Amino acid sequence: MSSHKRKDVSKRIARIHGHVHGIMEMIDEGRTYSEIVQQISAVKAGLDSAVQVIVEDLVDDCIAKSGKSKSVNEILLQLKEVVSRLT
């Protein structure tokens, strides 16, 4: 499995975790739905960015292994699976 950008993905998800916690606090504080929806949209954008990093990592791995044909198929299958799971 590709893992060069795994730390980057991990950091992004940790940041999103904190962001969602912030939304919980906003709800408790009685902030407006408009403000809450704005933060929910920001979290969704953050999740999209994390997926982008994952796809980039898989593509980079594919390029790096392009000389070693045996593992390219494996990476391409994984990439195909990841893309199929995007909503």
Q: What is the DSSP string of 2-59?
A: --TTHHHHHHHHHHHHHHHHHHHHHHHTT--HHHHHHHHHHHHHHHHHHHHHHHHHHH
Task: Report how many residues bind a second copy under the rule CB under 8 A.
Answer: 39
Interacting residue with a second copy among 4, 21, 63, 66 (CB under 8 A): 21
Interacting residues with a second copy between 49 and 68 (CB under 8 A): 50-51, 54, 57-58
The yes or no reply on residue 33 touching a second copy (CB under 8 A) is yes
